[in-house]
Each structure stands twice: as C-alpha cells, then as structure tokens.
Structure 1
Amino acid sequence: MKLKQIILISFSAFMLFLMAGCVKSEFDMPEITPIPYDPNKVITIAELKQIDPLTFPYKYDDDYSLFATVVMDDKSGNIYKSAFIQDATGGINIRLFSAGGLYQGDYIRINLKNTVVSQYQKLWQIDSIDVDKNIEKLATWACTTTIYGEPKPIVEPTLVNINTIKTDAFQSQLIRLDNVQFFETEIGNYFANPNNQFENVNRILMDCDWNTIIVRTSGFANFADKILPSGRGSLIAVVSRYRDDYQLLIRSFNEVTFNEPRCDDDETNIITIQEIKDLFAEGEVNLPPNVIIRAVVVSDREGDNMSSRNAVIMDGSGAGITLRFTATHNFNLGDLIRISAGTLPLELYAGLLQINNIPNGNVNLIGPGTLPQPVETTVAEVIANINVYESTLVTFANATITGGTTFATPGTTHGSLTLSDGTGTITLFTYNWAEFAGSTVPSGPVTITGIVSINNTPQFLIRNLNDIVE
C-alpha cells in the first residue's frame, strides 16, 4: 500500500513539473509588458546592418525592437557572455552584461534602447544587452509552438560550402557543412588545450577540394578535451569572423559527425620531384594531368633573398625544384605544401629548372613540415653535378667569402661575391632587397649552408644569416 502511495505521489509531482514547464502551446499578445514595445518600431537584422560603420559605436536611444531566435548560447563554454541570434534576414552576435539567461532555441524580442551596435574586427554585434531589461523571452526551444497566433520560427542549419561562407553571406548564422574533415596534420590533437582553459585554439577544416576554414574552440568549451575525429562527415556550427578570417564555432560535440572515410589524395597521383626532373630530361615540357606534389619549402620568404614569386621545395626523393607563382606567395621556410600541378609548364630560366605559372590557388598549406638535412659536400662536387644539386640545400665547410665587405648594397646593387672551399669557387649571390643585404661579410673561414641555384652559371644563395656559422 505504501509503495503505491509513493508511486502515485512521485507521478503527480512529475506531472506538475511538466505542466509548470509547458503550461500552454500558444502565447497570446500580452496586454502589459515590462519591456517597452512599439509595433511600429520593429526592425530586422538586415535593416540593423544598414547602419553606416562611420557612425560606430551606434547607440539606440529609442524603443526599437528586434525579433530573433537564439542559435548559439554560452552553455557549452565555447563563448562567454555572448550569444548568436538569427532571423529570416541574417544573423548577429549579441554581447551580454552577464553570462546565461538565454538558451539555444529561445525566440526573443530585444528592446534596442541603450544597446550599442558596432563591428568588432568585422564581426557585427549588439553590445550592452541586459537580459532582464532588454530581452523579452517569447518562447523556449522545448515548449511554445506559436507566438501571437503565428508558428514559432525554427532555425535549421543551412547547407553551405566553405567558399560560400567566405562571401560573408552567412555571418553569425547556423550552417552545416558536408564532406569535410580536419587537416591530416591536426589528427590526434584536441579541439583546444585541455591544460590551459584560457587558450583559444584554431584547427583547420577542409573539404575534398582543399578549401579550408578555421574551427575555433575555447579552452572553456565542454568538448575542449575531445580528440579531433579522423574521418570525414558533416558539421553544424555558427559562422564567426575575425578580421579576414572566417571561423566556425561549434555548439556541441554531438554536431560533429565524421564517420566516413577521408578524401585524401590518391597516392597514384602524387609525383616526386625526382620524377619531374626525369620527365624534363626525357623532353616533357608539361607535367602530366592531375598530378599532386607534396614537398617542404626550403627557401626563406622572411629572409627575402629571392623573388617574392619564387620558392624552392624539396621532397623525400632528395631532389629540389624552384616554383614560379603567378603572384606573390606567403609560404614560409619549413611549410609542408600541396600543389595541384597537373599540366603546369616545366621551363628553364637562365638554366634553372622551374615549374612555371603556378596559380597561387593551386597550392595549399598542409602544416609544418620536416626540413631535409643539407648535404655536406664541396664546391667542386656541386659544379660537376649541377643538375643533381640545383634547388637543394647543401653545406660547405671551411669556406671563405671574398669580393666585398657586405653581402650586397641595400636597395641599389645585388651582391656577387666569391665563395671558395679549397676545391673550387662559386658565386655567392644576394639580392639588394634581402633582409641581410647590408650585413658585414665574415672575414674568416665559415661553415655555410644554402640553396644551389643557376643564373646561366652556378650560384649559391644563403637564406638568412643563420646559414653562416663562423
């Protein structure tokens, strides 16, 4: 008997809880609201974004209202004192005086009086929002189905692609990406640093065409210590922006579903640099269709002793080659890169073999690579086998540099000094724009590392002053 009473009391309490949580499925227009509302002063997110940025920070001094749905809250810890809202015209970030109070799926009205509209590093936001004074919650995710007699707006993620996101058309909106995966160099890492909650971490997401975007995660996110999935699949997130970088903010680890095999390069399409050189020696002037090159950059963009459109790469075959881009590139010493090289031309420029006319969009950064060890050799050996050593890293020991006191004359004259190691001599060439052009040349013997090049005759280029050990 007592057991039946306990069950009856427990059931009654549960039903009262449900009734309190969802009293009715339709809210009538309230006669009185503590937050002012003028039906003639309602704007959309798109209309709000018509504010001239020259007027930022723009403060509302009247009782305008904005209706929207919360598409991301701060419950997961991936954002703080913040939320993202969306209506039929767009999305925007809102900044709150205090954390909590808004939840994913809430349909709200914001009274904009005393709020401030601005852009933070190109991200639109409404700042200075007091949840109690500025926001009327009209519906929650779980309960209300209609608002003022109309169906409650429900925001579903929009299926997009990475390139579309970068048009800024989906800023602060809920999106879904299909057939995406994390970069291979990211696999095995956590979403963020589980040992430092105050660190936000960027991970690189890519599609099967090698378009990339950042997934940014706070160390406070409740999935920060989850390991990045190694497969391919779909992801739901909110689009954020920081300057010119678009970032995806994940709401829940459960919205990352990567259960399919990865779409990595077909190994049969990868060509080595030595194979490229062999093809050229056989008379080929274009690379085969669909080939992929994966190699490490051994030139130093920051040292600047090369054209800004050139880079030198080496791969596991031990060979190297010079790349000639159609525009200035941004690849650094040690970067592991992937080149869609199908049908690109192979040409000699003043005797130096290079892959020419490479569209910058054909080259992707994979991540940090492993630099090859320079081959320790002699000047005589290099000159006798210049086609083997061109565009590779070598080291000469007990070498001397003569012919000038500085490597070049900055902004005026390129430097052509003489490098000798006792077995022969080679031109040590330095561009007048090199970062170290005006530096003093060592007077005594040195161990020197650099790139073997050709400009009608063999040349040697150091990348930076760290290439010289006295």
Structure 2
Amino acid sequence: MKNISLKTSLVLVTIVLTMSSCIHDEFEEPPVTTIPEGTILTIQDLNSIYFSDSVAQGTYKFTEDYSVYATVTMDDKSGNIYKSAYVQDGTMAINLHLLSSGGLYEGDSIRIYLKGLTLVTYSEMLQLDSVHVDDNVVKVSTLKYIEPEVVTIDQIKTGGYKGKLIKLENVQFVDGDLGSTYADEENLITEDRTIEDETGATMIVRTSGYASFAGTALPEGRGSLVAIAGIYNTTNQLYLRNTGEVIFDQRRFGDVDTLVYYGFDDIENGTPVSTADWANIAEVGALFWTGNNNGENGSVKITGDGNENTNWLILHELSIANGVMQFSTRAGLLTGASLGVYISTDYTGDGNPQNASWTELTANIATSPSGSYGDWTASGEVDLSSYSGDVYIAFKYNSDAGQSGVFYLDDFLIFS
C-alpha cells in the first residue's frame, strides 16, 4: 500500500508540474477591429449625391471608404421611433435605419463609416439604410447635446428642416385634441395630434403607440416644445423625444383674467352717468356723459353743444399688473371735438383731475364725417404692462368754441 501511494504521489506531482508549465502570465486579447475613415463627407454631401442625376432607382450604395461625422439628436429608447436614430451636422440632418435597436443615444458624437451602406428616401425623408452600430459607427464622444433651432410652423413647412432638432414657441394643442393622450397606449396604435400657433398655422405631432409616453394626457396650456421635424410623403410632422420637452405653462390663446368689464347694458337711457364705478366730471363747460340704451344694448355717450368743453369720465381706482385694455367707440357729426384715453398714477380720486398728472394712451378712437355717424371702432389692445399698482383710467372729451361732436363708449375691458 505504501508503494502504491508513493507512485500515485509521483504521478500527481508530474501532472501539476506539466500544468504549471502551460500557464501564461498574460491573457490573450481578442483582435481589435479598426473601422476605416476614408474621405470625409457632410450630410449635405450625402443629400447632393442622392439627388444627383447619376443616382438611379432611388438608391445609392457606397462601395468605397467614406465617413461622415454627426451628432445623435434622437434615439429610439423612448419607443417613439424603432430601430432608428436622427443625426445632424453643421449642414443638414439625416435618419439612420438601424439593423437593431439601441447602441446610439442622444448626444453621442459619432463617425459613420459609409462603405456598404445605402442612401434611400423613406417617404421623402433621406435615410442611411441598414446601419450596423458595431461595424459602421465609431463613438467619438458622448453627452455632446445639440441645441434645438427655434423656428416657426411655417418655416418647417418650407422643407428646409427635415430631420433637424427644432423648437417651436408659443404653440398649443388644438381644442379638439384636448382631453386626449398622445397616442393609444392600450391598443399600441400610433396617432396624430395637432398643434397651432397664434397665426392659425398647424402641424401634426405623431406619436407611436409604443412610446413610453403614449398614454400621457396632452397639456392644455400654451408654450414651447422640442422635437424632430419629420416628413411622411407630403405631410410635415413632429416626433417628440420626451414630454419633458413640452412646456405648456402659459394660458391658451384668448384665455384672460378679467379685471373689469362694462357693457353698460343696464345703464339708464338719457340720464347722466352717476355710479360708484365712474366719476363724471365737467372741468370746463356743462357737458356730461349720459346713458344710451334702446332696451337691448347699452352704451354711454357725450354730445357736444358747440361751446368750449372739457369733460372727464374716470374709472374708479384699479390695481393692475401686466394689464391690457380694450374698448369700442363710435363718433358722429364731428366738427373739431376730440376724445382721448388717459392714465394717472397720482390722481387721488377726489377733486379736479387737472391737478393730477395724466398720460395719454395710444388707442384707436372713432372718427366721423361732420354730417353723419361713423362705425363702431375697436381700440385694439392697449398695453398697460408698464404700469403696476394703483391707477386711474379716464376718457377726456375736448372741444373749443364752435366745435362739436358725439362720442359713444362701450365694451370697456381690462384684463391680464
């Protein structure tokens, strides 16, 4: 038994020594694949190549060593696009159709090796087809985010921003889309929503049913959004990267906070205006503003008598901030009399308004021929944003001897 144990031990020692002689101090590394660079092109060069007369059948395949440097502006991790990315350089933008999802992320600065890739258009969007991230892409750096270009809806529709990262300001979703989500998350159906600007120009926001934010409710306000300007055949459309870039934190067009409104529909016809809200003061002469009411519509008016007159119709003290004023006037039989609208920050509300400082505001005031009446005239939006705090607003009628005329005032509104 001792002889057997000794032999066994000798065999084991021999095996260990043999194995030790086979162990290397350094591990073997896999071969490094180098992606050639070749001639450098821009995305604008790609566009020129594709739309040149030499390109047949709507495709162009690169057979030599070329590269283009660009930055990723939209990846597919949100699910709003699939096996796809948008990149742009200092000239233009292009879509990358990837062989598999992932691998490219917003802010990646990359070099795209073009040999073997094909230039195509997919529904009028220029595209590099069948991009293999490992074989065709070299990451130069990361987190190199591109600032979106601020444009208008009408500018996008010119076709000069295809594939680019853009920012729209002062837009909102149309009334008919409010209450909806970006897409049909439950049934994974892609849907279109519509935004509009204050000119009435509209554009589609297209969202995949697979997008991570498909089931998010549309914001109801107005503001800015960042998106990729896409196109599908002849339809311009926007692709959102995430809803954090949809900042609708302002009121919708037309939404206001009304500070005061006077339609004068309850005014008594033919009697001088005498309310707690309006002071009716004859500084010179004996004219006063009176009610004008036919039983359905009311207004106030002042009628000249051919003498020298200065009359004030002064609204009660009002505290404003970022205010806007609107009103309507009508004139008739004018022979030199005038009407203006004024603001004061030092009028006390008592006594002669002549003792305070008044600034005339710019507004459209009605006029008329001397022998007839003119039409109602909208004042336009009178900007009061330079005034903050307590103010008085007044309408001042003036006439010299021999001058006369009639002025009507209605639909007086101040809002913020």
Deviation at 1:200, TM superposition (A): 1.1
Map of 1:183 onto structure 2: 174
Structure 2 distance, partners of 1:93, 1:264, is 38
Unaligned runs of 5+ in 2: 1-31, 262-416
Structure 2 distance, partners of 1:226, 1:154, is 25
Q: What is the aligned counterpart of 2:49 among 48, 51, 71?
A: 51
Tell whether the 8 Å contact from 2:171 to 2:195 is kept in structure 1 after alignment.
Answer: yes
Task: Say if 2:227 is the partner of 1:229.
Answer: no
Q: What is the aligned counterpart of 1:126 among 103, 120, 128?
A: 128
Per-residue Cα deviation, 1:182-218 (whole angstroms, up to 9, x for no partner):
0000000000002111x21110111011100000000
Tell whether the 8 Å contact from 2:74 to 2:85 is kept in structure 1 after alignment.
Answer: yes
Map of 2:37 onto structure 1: 37
Larger relative contact order (C-alpha < 8 A, sep ≥ 6)? 2
Deviation at 1:155, TM superposition (A): 1.4
RMSD (Å) for aligned C-alpha atoms: 1.8
Per-residue Cα deviation, 1:353-394 (whole angstroms, up to 9, x for no partner):
xxxxxxxxxxxxxxxxxxxxxxxxxxxxxxxxxxxxxxxxxx
Inter-CA distance 135–52: structure 2 relative to 1 (3 Å threshold): closer
Task: Say if 2:149 is the partner of 1:158.
Answer: yes
Structure 2 distance, partners of 1:86, 1:194, is 30
Q: Scaled by the length of structure 1, what TM-score is found?
A: 0.46
Tell whether the 8 Å contact from 2:65 to 2:115 is kept in structure 1 after alignment.
Answer: yes
Please tell me the residue identity of whatever aligns with 2:236: Y
Pairwise mapping of residues 230-379 of structure 1 onto structure 2 (< 5 A)?
230-264=220-254
Map of 1:97 onto structure 2: 99
Per-residue Cα deviation, 1:161-202 (whole angstroms, up to 9, x for no partner):
0000011111101000000000000000000002111x2111
Structure 1 distance, partners of 2:222, 2:255, is 14
Map of 1:170 onto structure 2: 161
Deviation at 1:52, TM superposition (A): 4.1
Deviation at 1:264, TM superposition (A): 4.0
Per-residue Cα deviation, 1:268-301 (whole angstroms, up to 9, x for no partner):
9xxxxxxxxxxxxxxxxxxxxxxxxxxxxxxxxx
Map of 1:71 onto structure 2: 73
Equivalent residue of 1:248, what SS? Answer: strand
Equivalent residue of 1:51, what SS? Answer: helix
Deviation at 1:33, TM superposition (A): 6.1
Please tell me the residue identity of whatever aligns with 1:218: S
Per-residue Cα deviation, 1:71-119 (whole angstroms, up to 9, x for no partner):
0000111000000001000111000000000000000000001111011
Structure 2 distance, partners of 1:186, 1:58, is 41
Map of 2:185 onto structure 1: 194
Matched pairs, number: 223
Tell whether the 8 Å contact from 1:64 to 1:113 is kept in structure 2 after alignment.
Answer: yes
Inter-CA distance 121–34: structure 2 relative to 1 (3 Å threshold): same
Equivalent residue of 2:81, what SS? Answer: coil
Deviation at 1:58, TM superposition (A): 0.8
Structure ID, larger Rg: 2
Please tell me the residue identity of whatever aligns with 1:36: P
Please tell me the residue identity of whatever aligns with 2:62: Y
Tell whether the 8 Å contact from 1:84 to 1:91 is kept in structure 2 after alignment.
Answer: yes
Inter-CA distance 252–154: structure 2 relative to 1 (3 Å threshold): closer
Equivalent residue of 2:45, what SS? Answer: helix
Pairwise mapping of residues 386-425 of structure 1 onto structure 2 (< 5 A)?
none
Structure 2 distance, partners of 1:96, 1:65, is 17
Structure 2 distance, partners of 1:137, 1:52, is 25
Per-residue Cα deviation, 1:238-285 (whole angstroms, up to 9, x for no partner):
01100111110000110000010011499x9xxxxxxxxxxxxxxxxx
Tell whether the 8 Å contact from 2:185 to 2:214 is kept in structure 1 after alignment.
Answer: yes
Equivalent residue of 1:102, what SS? Answer: coil
Tell whether the 8 Å contact from 1:229 to 1:258 is kept in structure 2 after alignment.
Answer: yes
Unaligned runs of 5+ in 1: 1-31, 142-152, 269-470
Per-residue Cα deviation, 1:26-66 (whole angstroms, up to 9, x for no partner):
xxxxxx8611112xx10000111002445221111111000
Please tell me the residue identity of whatever aligns with 2:138: E
Please tell me the residue identity of whatever aligns with 2:45: E
Structure 1 distance, partners of 2:233, 2:192, is 15
Equivalent residue of 2:227, what SS? Answer: strand
Tell whether the 8 Å contact from 1:208 to 1:264 is kept in structure 2 after alignment.
Answer: no
Tell whether the 8 Å contact from 2:97 to 2:131 is kept in structure 1 after alignment.
Answer: yes
Tell whether the 8 Å contact from 2:106 to 2:145 is kept in structure 1 after alignment.
Answer: no
Q: Scaled by the length of structure 2, what TM-score is found?
A: 0.52
Tell whether the 8 Å contact from 1:93 to 1:126 is kept in structure 2 after alignment.
Answer: yes
Structure 1 distance, partners of 2:40, 2:70, is 11
Map of 1:306 onto structure 2: none
Tell whether the 8 Å contact from 1:92 to 1:125 is kept in structure 2 after alignment.
Answer: yes
Deviation at 1:154, TM superposition (A): 4.4
Q: What is the aligned counterpart of 1:212 among 199, 202, 206?
A: 202
Please tell me the residue identity of whatever aligns with 2:240: I
Map of 1:83 onto structure 2: 85
Equivalent residue of 2:49, what SS? Answer: coil
Please tell me the residue identity of whatever aligns with 2:243: F
